[in-house]
Structure 1
Amino acid sequence: MNTQHELPPITLAASDYNRLLFTAMIQQKQGWRTPNFLLKELRRANVCHPGALPEDVVSTDCRVIYRVDDEPKSRAHLLVHPEDLIWPGAELSVTTPLGTALLGLRVGDSMSFVEADGTVHDVFVEGIGLRFLDDGSTVTRAPGGIIWT
């Protein structure tokens, strides 16, 4: 697993980058402690056009399959902006430490994150499921290729 000194590269779509920068700055101005990790990640991100985002990169509005530490079972959540969170059981806010750690990673990458109580964890990205696009359509990964709906 990676340590805090061996950070994997991250890639973000410009639309995610801009929206998250605005969110983090507002939260920081309001005195929240959570945006510091997000701001650090945004500073080191490679930013690309949304259409150029590689298929194996975790972004907001995509279902990410991951494992925390050495858990026996994988987890799967839709990574969303905090203001879009409507079903916490199935969704994960990108502004949580876990959500920020997942953002921009590629399938196969792992990264450490620290919870509010100081507990350090490692998250490993196993796969990406559905990705919802800005126009309301979805991209589904299938054995024979991509299916647009």
Structure 2
Amino acid sequence: MTSSSPRIIIGETDFTRLTNLAEATARSNSAVADFLMSELDRATVKPDHLVKPTTVKMGSTLTYETDHGEHRTVTLVFPVDADISRGRISILTPIGAALIGLRVGQSINWTAPNGEKHKLTIISANAEQEAFDRAAQ
């Protein structure tokens, strides 16, 4: 994280679930778990109903623009639901952890597993949180 990291907002439910996930995976995937925890530490946590649909949450389908001008549409999911061929990105990846809490128009720098630095900008976000919450139960 740098001082230029954007302000992020996370709902209480996602905050609790993601904190537990990061703590549970800290031994096996420490770099990503540490990055996710640093993102959670700097987040403003709000009641779920106060988090706008244009904020990236677990279960959000979003479109972002890469630093090369490419547009990609993905859904942010828990590891068990990840499937890159279907555009389902795990929160326990560097890009997944970078996406959580961002709002439309915000950009963030992140580092890929190969060490390359990247920047992405959120173009659109559509949260299907209620359906996602029901499916997660």
Q: Same fold (TM over 0.5)?
A: yes
Normalising by the residue count of structure 1, what TM-score does the alignment of the two structures yield?
Answer: 0.81
Measured in 1, the distance between the counterparts of 2:17 and 2:116 equals 28
* Larger RCO, structures 1/2 (Cα 8 Å, 6+ apart): 2
Choose from 114, 117, 128 the match for 1:131. 128
The structure where strand makes up a greater share of residues is: 1
Residue 38 of structure 1: aligned partner? 36
Larger CA Rg, structure 1 vs 2: 1
Which stretches in structure 2 are left out of the alignment for 5+ residues? none
Normalising by the residue count of structure 2, what TM-score does the alignment of the two structures yield?
Answer: 0.88
Measured in 2, the distance between the counterparts of 1:129 and 1:30 equals 31
The structure where helix makes up a greater share of residues is: 2
Q: Does 1:119 align with 2:125?
A: no
Which stretches in structure 1 are left out of the alignment for 5+ residues? 137-149
Q: Does 1:29 align with 2:40?
A: no
Q: Quote the offset at 1:130 in angstroms.
A: 5.0
- Identity %, equivalent residues: 27
8 Å CA contact 2:54–2:126 kept in 1: the answer is no
Q: Quote the offset at 1:116 in angstroms.
A: 1.4
8 Å CA contact 2:53–2:127 kept in 1: the answer is no
Choose from 97, 100, 105 the match for 2:97. 100
CA shift in 2, pair 1:116/1:8, >3 Å: same
8 Å CA contact 1:101–1:123 kept in 2: the answer is no
What is the Cα-based RMSD across aligned positions, in Å?
Answer: 1.7
